[in-house]
Structure 1
Amino acid sequence: MPYFDNASTTFLTPSVIEEMTKVMNSSPANPSSIHQYGRKSNQLLREGKEKIAKLLKVDTRDLILTSGATESNNTAIKGYALANENKGKHLITTSVEHHSVFDVMGYLEKNYGFEVTYLSPIDGTISASQVKEALRDDTILVSIMHTNNETGHQFPIKAIGELLKNHQAVFHVDAVQAMGKVPVYPNELGIDLMSLSAHKFHGPTGIGILYSKPLHLTKLLHGGDQEDKKRAGTENLVGLMGMAQALDDSLSHQKENYDHVTSLRNLFLEQLSNVDYYLNSPIDGLAYIVNIGFPNVNNSILLTQLDLAGFAVSTGSACTAGNIEPSHVLAAFYGKDSEKLKESIRISFSEFNTTDEVIQLTTKIKEIIGK
């Protein structure tokens, strides 16, 4: 079954499965236990985090293991805002963030009296000047994604990081869609808090990282003293080692993978050259994601027919795809009443897709829409 929903999740690779199996076969114990089994697991825990820290060019002490992007984003935003509201109660984000950012902002507004400025995209992206205009003396946090998960638009993270150097606001970046695909090193980009999730770069589900400079964060989970007392709960050691292997693999082959995916994206569009379509994704955006619309073709019907033909695609964020709700990202682009919300689908590639699969997909799309 040709799989083109990699922006929602990617498949485990053989090397990741091998690494995780090796850890499982070693009878991993609780890393907090003081007996020799626990000490062995604790050593693996340190090695896994050190490997990821080296790959990201950060200090190991600045990595907090989480269950994935949602927990990382919640911990970063809610954790920092609630711990530092004495400095101000103004937050800045965009209207096209993932729901695990967008909904947290709404929660803080409704329940804790924070004021949130939602920046609207111009030509699909946000500029540093928009952030500058929105900044106030009481702004304490700016949260802007690196790459949009529905369209592939990339935001000017480095320029925003530079802007915030002379302001009290800390900078949180949801780097989930970008990690492993393009270079993202928080210390080079001026990022204070950064979220990533292993299953977006061929690691396992249920494991992620929150990179955090030494900042005061309110804990979301209370209990044990794991993660230097930053996040309670027995660490997912098997998941961690799989994530470390997946990140190593992705970064080791980043350029060749990107070149391959770019060729697939270009082939996809070439194959549809005689079809009436429009793009919601920029040509210079992340090559892994193509958000495309076909005038007068209902996306839910198109998705159903593609699924029946054995092709996995989506309309956007997997967290809401079960209901096929109108995309809040496209609504921010075109307005909530635009027909484009009902016509657009997302094709998301991985380095393991092939030219034959792309040709099969475009052939089936043309057959369905009658071209």
Structure 2
Amino acid sequence: MEIKTNYSTVTGIDPIVPEIIYLDNNATTPLDPRVLKAKMPFLTENYANAASTHKFGVSAHEAVKQARQQVADLIGADTHEIIFTSGATEAINLAIKGVAEAYSNRGKHIVTVSTEHSAVLDTCKYLETKGYEVTYLPVQSDGLLNLEVVKSAIRTDTILVSVMHVNNETGVIQDIKAISQLAHEKGVIFMSDATQSVGKIPVNVDDLGIDLMTFSGHKIYGPKGVGALYIRQRQNRIKIPALLHGGGHERGLRSGTLNVPGIVGLGKACELAGKEMDDSAERIREMRDFLENELLKIEGTWINGNRENRLYNVTNIGFEGVDSEALIMGLSNPESDEPMIVVSNGSACTAASIDPSHVLIAMGLDEVRAFNCIRFSLGKSISKEILGSVKLILFCRIEHLKSMAS
């Protein structure tokens, strides 16, 4: 059955709609042209190894040095506290496994959250096979942690508390400052996966009390394949061993030839995010609220996650009786002249899984309702006109799926 949507009949206008409407920015963002311009010379003309001592190599080293400053400035850190990695997943592994090895003499207990990204959860599960004990904190129905539950989970043998700043599926923002205080009161290291918050909302490692923090370039209009790990070296200095050996790069913590183009791109993306964050937040929030209000007019819809403490570009909406996978496939494989609409129903890093979202299950949804949910994550290029078309197409697709199911 071909599904057709007549925009002008329904809306009275004939909007200019792009061929692809991208609403999956929590999975990855498009590369900012200014970032591409900044990194391009290091892919073409200045291709030197940043570890080389000749003049050609020194120029690449200086570019990396500048990028390290740009990253540090965005999060309120010092440059020697920034370690470049291939992305947040590597940074998470380096941080958690590093703490486990360096501080095992103090204890072998780690506290994290049931709604963390799989990079954290899988790393913790690996450590359980090595004799470590992990407490996976439950969340409330709105996705937020109960601080009393956090406090009661920290023991005398706890060496690390790791809590994601912003959830990638719901956008829920945890009270990181309060949680880090609870950890520090017991002398425990505090870590945060800030992949969805850095560059989108103000993040200052001192204000929030963060000892270890991870993030990626491709979530903030930077390149894929590059990220960073913040390791506190002022006050409460954190010491972790290297996982990769072979040259002593990145203060001995991450050996290997530096990805100079990627690092330069990450630095530029951080610089731009710092300058444009407030304006972007205001405009994207307005777009998100518009889309959300329009979609909630569809019968049998609901929002997952706390509506007050969440990131401005995300809404996770359930559509009763609608298989999210079927809806996603229908939107991304239009049967007429409709645009492709790109959305998701969870983390891109677990896209191969056929299980329901572990985040939504942890928030109390049963499997059926969890499979009814779609995440919309907006970016800087969206407009109300485009979102109006999204609502119309979604309405038609949902009605079609419901009729097929009945």
Shared fold, TM over 0.5 = yes
- State the one-letter code of the partner of 2:38: E
* 1:23 equivalent in alignment to 2:39: no
Pairing 1:216–2:239 present: yes
TM-score (norm: length of structure 1): 0.96
Paired residue type of 2:345: T
Superposed CA offset, 1:158-188 (max 9, x none): 1112222332210000000011111111111
Structure 1 position 157 matched with structure 2 position 181 = no
C-alpha distance in 2, partners of 1:74/1:301? 34
Please list every run of 5 or more consecutive structure 2 residues that lacks an aligned counterpart in the other structure: 1-19, 335-339, 401-406
Most deviating of 38-47 and 56-65: 38-47
**1:1-371 superposed matches below 5 A:** 1-110=20-129, 112-122=130-140, 123-214=142-233, 215-276=238-299, 277-284=301-308, 285-309=310-334, 310-334=340-364, 337-370=366-399
Which has the larger Rg? 2
For 1:362, give the aligned amino acid. Answer: K
Q: 2:296–2:302: 8 Å Cα contact kept in structure 1?
A: no
Q: What is the letter of the counterpart of residue 256 of structure 1?
A: D
**Is the Cα–Cα contact under 8 Å of residues 292 and 315 in structure 2 kept in the other structure?**
no
Paired AA for residue 249 in structure 1 = L
Distance, in Å, in 1 between the alignment partners of 2:24 and 2:354 is: 14
Amino acid at match of 1:308: N
Letter in 1 for 2:376: I
Q: 1-side partners of 2:223 and 2:279: how far apart?
A: 23
- The 3-state SS of whatever aligns with 1:17 is helix
Return the offset for 1:128: 2.6
Matched to 2:398, the amino acid is I
Give the length in aligned residue pairs.
369
Higher helix share: 1
8 Å CA contact retained: 1:281, 1:292: no
Q: How far apart in 2 are the matches of 1:273 and 1:98? A: 27
Counterpart residue type for residue 108 of structure 1? L
Moved more, 16-25 or 218-227: 16-25
Q: Tell me if structure 2 keeps the 8 A contact 1:5–1:347.
A: yes
Shift of 1:196: 0.7
Distance 1:324 1:359, change over 3 A: farther
Deviation at 1:324, TM superposition (A): 4.4
User: How much does 1:26 deviate?
Assistant: 3.4
Question: Against the structure 1 CA distance between its residues 127 and 251, is the aligned structure 2 distance closer, same or farther, given a 3 Å change threshold?
Answer: farther
**RMSD after superposition:** 1.3
Kindly provide the CA deviation profile for residues 57-104 of structure 1, in whole angstroms up to 9, marking residues without a partner as x: 211111000000100111111111112111100100000000000000
Corresponding residue SS for 2:144:
coil
Tell me, in whole angstroms, the C-alpha distance in 1 between the residues paired with 2:278 and 2:146: 26
User: Cα offset for 1:54?
Assistant: 2.1
Displaced runs of 4 or more, over 6 A: none
* Counterparts of 2:173 and 2:190, CA distance in 1: 16
Aligned counterparts of 1:7 and 1:256: Cα–Cα separation in 2: 19
Letter in 2 for 1:35: H
Identity %: 38
Greater CA deviation, 141-150 or 258-267?
258-267
